[in-house]
Structure 1
Amino acid sequence: MSQNNDRQQLLHIGAVAERTELSLRTLRHYDEIGLVNPSERSEGGFRLYSEADVERILLIRRMKPLDFTLEQMREPLDVTHDVAQPDAPLEARQKSHEIEAIAIERRARWRRRSRWPMSSSRVSATSRPPLTRTMQGSARPDARVVCDAELVFTR
């Protein structure tokens, strides 16, 4: 793939903000604290985000309703990245199961607090955990992100 094609796949911060429904200020904050660093910078110093960067940001959005602090999100984000690699270390896979258990417990707590059935049409997309979907850009097709940071990796 040429450098020009690679550059076409990178998004400026405004496009990422629109796609993730986060503010520019929030994205800059994530960069400043090292939670999500853009893959590149333009010659003019503008942040350029890859599809993997956007997926990481979307995972953060799914963890927020589960009351993960930004600092607590670092480990699940790193483990998600590690497990998505074709040669994922055993420790990362084991840690992903621990994180999954924590996320499942937090999701159950979220459901009790919300008192809304997940199938209700009255529940908005922003107040409801998203459905299962394959992580885009994953080297492993079995890597999945399920309902608000429940990390499930088929054995």
Structure 2
Amino acid sequence: MNGEHTQIGEVTTHTELSLRTIRHYEETGLVIPSARSQGGFRLYTEADVARLMVIRRMKPLGFTLDEMHDLLDATDRLDAGTDLPAGEREALLERVRGFEEAAHKRVADLRTQLARAEEFAGTLSERLTGTPAH
């Protein structure tokens, strides 16, 4: 990405999201292309791609579209300026902290699931080969 506007095809390559998925996120309001070309093609900035990457990272952790909206709203408002009243700024930071805690918990849960899945695969290997898996 070069700091200029990028077409959706390059964005799909960079984010590993499909055209359909990016369009869905646009329809739900999670990300809006910063511009359109004269031919009507969606054009994205590095900030748009960064937003898509946040969404991409939240998805496998099971966050809902509403939760994604909530986190992006909080970070957008925090990024918009430092002239927020102290109470509002702290409330937004607390929302982001809540997402951080939830993300850490979900990662731990996924690690537990992965360990169980690896144990299961090892058990199957042992059954097939008669050799204990390592």
What's the TM-score, normalizing by structure 2?
A: 0.72
- Give the corresponding residue for 1:32: 27
Structure 1 runs (4+) greater than 3 angstroms displaced = none
Q: For structure 2, which runs of at least 5 residues remain unmatched after alignment?
A: 116-134
Instruction: Give 1:20's aligned amino acid.
Output: T
32 and 101 in structure 1: CA distance in 2 versus 1, 3 angstrom threshold: closer
Greater percentage in helix: 2
Q: Is the Cα–Cα contact under 8 Å of residues 58 and 68 in structure 2 kept in the other structure?
A: yes
Q: What RMSD over aligned residues (CA atoms) do the two structures have, in Å?
A: 2.3
- Give the corresponding residue for 1:110: 107
Indicate the percent of aligned positions where both proteins have the same amino acid.
44
- Give the corresponding residue for 2:91: 94
- Give the corresponding residue for 2:42: 47
**Aligned ranges for residues 3-152 of structure 1 at < 5 Å?**
9-89=4-84, 90=86, 91-115=88-112
Aligned mates of 1:52, 1:32 — CA distance in 2: 18
Cα offsets for 1:63-99 (capped at 9, x unmatched): 1132111122111101111212332523144223233
Structure exhibiting the larger radius of gyration computed from Cα positions: 2
What's the TM-score, normalizing by structure 1?
A: 0.63
Q: Is the Cα–Cα contact under 8 Å of residues 40 and 49 in structure 1 kept in the other structure?
A: yes
Q: For structure 1, which runs of at least 5 residues remain unmatched after alignment?
A: 1-7, 118-155
Residue 32 of structure 2 aligns to a residue whose secondary structure is coil
